[in-house]
Amino acid sequence: MTSNTHRNLTLRRFLSLGGPSGLLVTLGLAIFFVPATASAHRTVVYPGDSIQEAVDAASPGEKIVVMPGTYMETHGGSVAVRIKKDGIRLIGKSRHGEKVILVPGPGNRHGILVEPDDGAPDIQGFRIRGMTVQGFSNNGIKLERVNHFKIVNNESIDNLENGIQPELSANGLVKNNLSYGSNDSALWIEGGTNIRVIGNVTHSSVTGLEVTISKDLVIRENESYNNTIGMGLYHPSSASEPPLPVMENLRVEDNYIHDNNRPNTAPPGTSTATLPPGGGILLLGISKNELEENWVENNDFFGLAVVDFCLGTEGIPGPCASNTSGEDPVPRDNEIEENVFLNNGTNAPPSHPLAPLAADIIEVYLDPTANNCFEENTFSTYSNITGATAPQQCL
């Protein structure tokens, strides 16, 4: 931190306590109310200050409050704000409709990255709330190797790779965020364990809400619309990280997935660029998950597609070259219950080898032992490459 900025932050912190007498009172209260292991530090960042410099000066566990305004970092690094310390709480203090907005500075390709150095232990504890991250050429808000985190009430706008992405992280909450304008995923949970994904809105991206190589997730009460694919639950070969030993138990419930007919804008040559528009929920080659009480409507190709990874990517059953992870490409033992599928596959589907199967529910796999089952769903149309006339009932 430069000496002027450090002096500025220190003075504002001092004055916010009410001068010398206020400081004494506050310190006296801290003796009674602050646990010995907790940090009592709080830094306030104002327009014209550097968020990165405040982070660099912070102690582990510190709360950094950012006042309304537009912030641009000028340090020239590829990441605008990089956090490596335990327990940092980055809080955007919006008020009277004013936002805290982070935009790219010189050289910045990523917005906010929370990640330890190579070889360092995972970060323990992180919270971010009330931040708008906008216009970065790569990622908006990304966490990697963070344990116990909360990403709540943030906005990711036009961050062109991924919007919000907790990766290889665990024991977290991703709640009430808005993310749109990404050419990959608006919200991507990759390599996540024990994470709740609740009440987020994702739109105008290639995949609205994506999950890969994760386990023990609750995905509830999210809305996804105007994407190429509303929700993608993808095979490990679609991930950027190696597969986990166990990848199952995604509970997908009470989500509203609708009107996902946006043309695919992913960079040519990427796996994402092969996704056809018009998809509600794409369950691609993953197993042992539950989809319950979701409302899926007005998607031109399908409401739900349960697809063998190799058949979906190359049109052949496995093994296939696309399956770089070597994991089973067949979706197995998924339970789809009490969902509503309305008006899916009724408009002109995209040009795609599977377009003739357009329907509310599509199943595309050949293995008769896959054991995916359906119970008490509402739908009008169903199709299957084996010629089955109805989905298998749950026993």
Question: How remote is the C-alpha of 16 from its chain's centroid?
Answer: 36
For 346-363, what is the mean pLDDT? 91
Instruction: Report residue 5's pLDDT band, with 50, 70 and 90 as the boundaries.
Output: very low
16-71: pLDDT as tens digits:
434 433 433 333 333 333 332 234 589 999 999 999 999 999 999 999 999 999 99
Predicted confidence band of residue 97 (pLDDT cuts 50, 70, 90):
confident
| Number of neighbours of residue 311 by Cβ within 10 angstroms | 22
The more confidently predicted of residues 348 and 205 is 205
When the pLDDT of each residue in the chain is averaged and rounded to a whole number, the result is 90
Domain ranges across the chain: 161-384
Distances (CA, A) of 371 to 136, 211, 232, 294, 333: 43, 22, 20, 21, 5
Which residues are CB-neighbours of 213 under 8 A, at least 6 positions away?
190, 191, 236, 239, 241, 242, 243, 244, 247
For the beta sheet containing 42-45, the strands, ordered from the edge strand earlier in sequence to the opposite edge, are 42-45, 63-66, 88-92, 123-129, 146-152, 170-175, 193-198, 215-220, 250-253, 290-292, 335-337, 373-375
Q: What CATH code would you report for 161-384?
A: 2.160.20.10
Q: Round to whole Å and give the CA distance between 194 and 218.
A: 8
The predicted structure's pLDDT at residue 286: 97
pLDDT band at 118 (very low <50, low <70, confident <90, very high): very high
The least confident of 31-35, 221-225, 305-309, 339-343 is 31-35
Q: Return the pLDDT at 234.
A: 97
Q: How far apart are CA 30 and CA 208, in angstroms?
A: 44
Q: What is the pLDDT of residue 348?
A: 83
pLDDT above 70: residue 210: yes
Quote the CA–CA distance of 191 and 170 in Å, as a whole number: 8
**CA 48 – CA 41 distance, rounded (Å):** 21
* 261-314 pLDDT tens trace: 999 999 998 889 999 999 999 999 999 999 999 999 999 999 999 999 999 988
Question: What percent of the chain clears pLDDT 70, i.e. is strictly above it?
Answer: 90
Helix (H, G, I), strand (E, B) or coil at 127: strand
**Is pTM beyond 0.75 here?**
yes
Given pLDDT bands bounded at 50, 70 and 90, which one contains residue 15?
Answer: very low
Q: Tell me if 252 sits within 8 A of 292, measured CB to CB.
A: yes
Which pLDDT does position 168 carry in this prediction? 98
The count of other CB atoms within 10 Å of the CB of residue 229 is 32
Q: Which of 73, 132, 139 is nearest to 106 (CA)?
A: 73
Which range has the worst mean pLDDT, 27-31, 143-147, 357-361?
27-31
pLDDT at 14: 34
Number of other CB atoms surrounding residue 123 within 10 Å: 24
- pLDDT at 331 (0 to 100): 97
Q: How far apart are CA 174 and CA 157, in angstroms?
A: 16
Which one has a higher pLDDT value, 186 or 97?
186
